[in-house]
Structure 1
Amino acid sequence: MDRGTFIQHEGRPAVRFERTYAHPAERVWEAVATPEGLSHWFPSTVELEPHTGGKITFSGDPNLEPMTGTVLTFDPPRRLAFSWGGDELLFDVEPIDAEHCRLTLVNVLEARDTAARNAAGWTVCLAELGRHLSGATTDGPHSASAEPWQPVYDAYVASGMPYGAPIPGASSHA
Structure 2
Amino acid sequence: MNRGTFIDFEGRPAVRFERSYPHPVERVWAAVSEPEGLAHWFPSKVRIEPHEGGKIEFSEDPNLPATTGTVLVFEPPHRLAFTWEGDEIHLEVTAEGEGCRLALTNVLAARNTAARNAAGWSVCLTELDRHLAGARSEGPHSESAEPWKPYYDAYVSEGMPSGAEIPGAPSQES
Query: Aligned AA for 2:108?
Result: L
How far, CA to CA, are the matches of 1:94 and 1:169 in structure 2? 35
- Secondary structure of the 1:129 match is helix
Cα displacement (A) at 1:2: 2.2
TM-score (norm. length: structure 2): 0.98
Query: Aligned AA for 1:150?
Result: K
Runs (5+) with no aligned partner, structure 1 = none
1:28 maps to 28
2:110 maps to 111
2:92 maps to 92
User: Relative to structure 2, which stretch is displaced further, 164-173 or 42-51?
Assistant: 164-173
Is 1:17 the counterpart of 2:8 in the alignment?
no
- Secondary structure of the 1:117 match is helix
Is 1:130 the counterpart of 2:129 in the alignment?
yes
1:39 maps to 39
Q: Deviations over 1:73-96 (max 9, x none)?
A: 000000000000100000000011
TM-score (norm. length: structure 1): 0.98
Number of equivalences: 173
How far, CA to CA, are the matches of 1:80 and 1:173 in structure 2? 34
Is 1:72 the counterpart of 2:72 in the alignment?
yes
- Secondary structure of the 1:123 match is helix
Contact 1:164/1:173 (<8 A) preserved: no
How far, CA to CA, are the matches of 2:38 and 2:88 in structure 1? 16
Query: Aligned AA for 1:82?
Result: F
Runs (5+) with no aligned partner, structure 2 = none
Cα displacement (A) at 1:140: 0.3
Is 1:143 the counterpart of 2:136 in the alignment?
no
2:81 maps to 81
How far, CA to CA, are the matches of 1:79 and 1:173 in structure 2? 36
Contact 1:42/1:141 (<8 A) preserved: yes
Query: Aligned AA for 2:10?
Result: E
How far, CA to CA, are the matches of 1:150 and 1:41 in structure 2? 18
Query: Aligned AA for 2:38?
Result: L
How far, CA to CA, are the matches of 1:119 and 1:139 in structure 2? 20
How far, CA to CA, are the matches of 1:6 and 1:113 in structure 2? 11
Query: Aligned AA for 2:110?
Result: A
Query: Aligned AA for 2:152?
Result: Y
Q: Deviations over 1:96-131 (max 9, x none)?
A: 13x300000000000000000000000000000000
- Secondary structure of the 2:173 match is coil
- Secondary structure of the 2:51 match is coil
